[in-house]
Structure 1
Amino acid sequence: MKELTPKQKKFCQEYLKDFNATRAYKVAYSAKKDITARTNASKLLTNTNIQNYLSDVMNETKAKDILDIDGVLDNLSRLAIGEPREKVFKRIDYKGKKPKVVYDNVTTVTPEDQDQLKALELLGKYYKIFTDKVETQTDITVNIDPGDYDG
């Protein structure tokens, strides 16, 4: 893959913020007119090197966002013991073309009892604490006739 120019890299970084190619082009290349920015941004997005760069960054970001087993177990454990955590409530204004976050309100919340119980249940299943054991008793009679195996 051919190395991107600094302006191309800037375009990609801006584009990944909101996927607005026109805005990203105007920032990276200091374009004034929307029509120029839109046309040139469209051309840039067809560039194989830029497509590869964007794809790599998005796949890398996606992989970081996925919890591994340790992350899942850690979150379940914190929930099971009732550890308080911060929760963000956003007030969003839907006026205009694009919704805007008016303010964030951060509150500390404690898990509800049913949430803790479910987390404990899931952890118990993972560690196989709740496996059912079934005992059976059978009488089997095996008759072997040596004549059946003559060659």
Structure 2
Amino acid sequence: MKELTPKQKKFCQEYLKDFNASRAYKAAYKVKSDNQARANGSRLIANDNVSEYLSETMHQTKVNDILDINEVLDNLSHIAAGKPSQKIFKRVSYKGKKPKVEYDSVTTVTPEDQDQLKALELLGKYYKIFTDKVETQTDITVNIDPGDYDG
């Protein structure tokens, strides 16, 4: 893959915010016409190097968003212990053709009691702390033929 120009990188960064090629093109390049921005934005997305860069960046972002087992256990432990965490509340703007997410505020929240209990239950199951006792009744008949043991 060829190295992208600074303007192409800027276009890609802007495009990945809301997947609006026209807006991204206007942010990276000096252009006044919406039609020109739309046409050039579409053309730039079709560029092999830009397309490959966008694909790799989106794939890497997706890979980074997946929690591993230690992160899951760590998050469950924090919830079970009732540790406060920050939560981002977002607002969605429906102006234009595509909805745009606008981040509103960051607030500190403490897990609710039922969330703590659920986290404790999941941790207990993971560490096999809880075992189910099963009582069974069986009738076994054993037949021993003395001839089987003759030497």
TM interval, shorter chain, is: 0.7 to 0.9
Q: Give 1:42-121 correspondences, 5 Å limit.
A: 42-90=42-90, 92=91, 96-97=95-96, 101=102, 103-104=104-105, 106=107, 108-121=108-121
User: Normalization by structure 2: what TM-score?
Assistant: 0.78
Change over 3 Å in CA distance of 1:89–1:45 after alignment to 2:
closer
For 2:111, give the aligned amino acid: P
1:109 CA drift (Å) = 2.7
Any stretches of 5+ residues in structure 1 without a counterpart?
147-151
Offset, 1:110: 2.3
Alignment map for 1:126-141 (pairs within 5 Å) = 126-134=126-134, 140-141=142-143
Q: Shift in Å at residue 99 of structure 1?
A: 5.9
Relative distance call for 1:66 and 1:93 in structure 2 (3 A) is closer
1:124 positional shift: 0.5
Give the stretch that moved more between structures: 65-74 or 126-135. 126-135
Matched residues, percent identical? 62
- SS at 1:40 equivalent: helix
Match of 1:149 in 2: none
Q: Distance in 1 between matches of 2:103 and 2:54?
A: 30
In structure 2, the residue matched to 1:25 is: 25
CA RMSD of aligned residues (A): 2.9
Which structure 2 residue ranges, 5 or more long, are not aligned? Answer: none
Whether 2:7 is the aligned partner of 1:4: answer: no
What is the CA–CA distance in structure 2 between the aligned matches of 1:113 and 1:26, rounded to whole Å?
A: 49
- 2:105, 2:45 → 1: CA distance? 34
Match of 2:13 in 1: 13
TM-score normalised according to structure 1 size: 0.78
